[in-house]
Structure 1
């Protein structure tokens, strides 16, 4: 079982789900996202997606001592990418750090909250 976040690059201030539209999101280049995550977490292991039968996305896992994280960018240029972690994870510090560093917004579908570019969590309603 996993816990998932959808990560966007906002072009306007987003305070609720109503503010989230295609126009409010900037395209993110897979190579740039991967490079930024690799700078943050130098031990990331990116999968070789050129292998036949491999999933059609980039991915990596990062162990923080508590849980694992998988980062997926499904196309070379996309409005969103995802972070998947163990449902046992109790901390969201890694997601907040990524949002602060990359200037992104992460939607937490399980808790129905967002983590903003400032790293702070707010309700989506």
Structure 2
């Protein structure tokens, strides 16, 4: 999961495994972040109970590109000391990096979404 906070211009990355089909981890994070827009690939459906989501945006699976996500995150965080170790964790965190790529791509050009 990647969340872009417009108030603070910060990108929040989370990676976890759902242990059941109830999507409890996802629901908890959505309740915490309280997003207005949710960007998802077309083969995934939003979990039940997403009160407050005003817009569900479907983006092509190709927009969820972990390689581009790693580059974008590294470039955005270039001045942060923690970004220097990103290469070592790339293979471990590719799901949240792919979510970051789609989130940043949508934020930079919302008309690109389909």
What TM-score does the superposition give when structure 1 sets the normalisation length?
0.27
Structure in which a larger fraction of residues adopt strand:
1
Structure in which a larger fraction of residues adopt helix:
2
What TM-score does the superposition give when structure 2 sets the normalisation length?
0.29
